[in-house]
Structure 1
């Protein structure tokens, strides 16, 4: 008989946004269900991901982080470091070309601001569930 291990560890989510108000909101709201590490710079987050300082289950990044990598550039560089981490992109702009480019290049979701917080939580949970199922399949084969 298989033994099923249950864990009480919350999934780890990195948020990246240059707005202190949005960063604080995401941290407070998401902390109910996830361990949240917040960054205001895609470059700093990428550096810590590359160095193994953080190892998230999921990343939520703003598309436009002032004076930094765009969401699209971040996704491209992240895929060189860890192609498995699911990335969701937030954007105040509803530019369809940005959305399609992010999704084509590996984002699992693209969410327009303003967003419904409960919907955001469901989308993060869906990304985590899909990633977990994919990892279970990879290790089973």
Structure 2
């Protein structure tokens, strides 16, 4: 079973995503990016990462830069979730290496389809 590292400070969003994805993917959840990095540094490598933008301690865009500039993790696709529907932010994050950018609120079925296209 493929694994997804999910980073979001809102547990309700994490639960919603887990409900829709856990039948096909193993979901590893942390409420902030710093904990996600610690998990990665322990030698864990998920098939995909879903990261919110606005989180305490480390923003999702900062996390994306960390992952994409790290030789061990740069090949892991990162999907960004954001409540900001800013075209300029979306373009910047896609240029910076995000595999996709999904605006909240989102359709969980659409998220599942987009993930499958990335890691099928």
- Fold match (TM-score > 0.5): yes
Deviation at 1:78, TM superposition (A): 1.0
Mapped to 1, the partners of 2:52 and 2:118 lie a distance apart of 16
How many residues in Structure 1 have an aligned counterpart in Structure 2?
A: 118
Map of 2:66 onto structure 1? 77
RCO comparison, higher one (Cα < 8 Å, 6+) = 2
How big is the alpha-carbon RMSD for the aligned residues of Structure 1 and Structure 2? 1.1
Verify the 8 A CA contact 1:72 1:101 in the aligned structure 2: no
3-state DSSP class of the match of 2:54?
Answer: coil
Cα deviations by residue, 1:113-139 (Å, 9 ceiling, x for unpaired): 11111110011111102xxxxxxxxxx
Does residue 34 of structure 2 align to residue 43 of structure 1?
yes
Aligned residue among 100, 105, 108 for 1:114: 105
Larger strand share, 1 or 2: 2
SS of corresponding position for 2:81: strand
Q: Which is greater in Rg? A: 1
Moved over 6 A (4+): none
Residues 1-141 of structure 1 correspond to what in structure 2 (within 5 A)?
A: 10-52=1-43, 54-65=44-55, 67-79=56-68, 80=70, 81-129=72-120
Q: In terms of mean alpha carbon deviation, does 72-81 or 40-49 score higher?
A: 72-81
Shift in Å, 1:68: 2.3
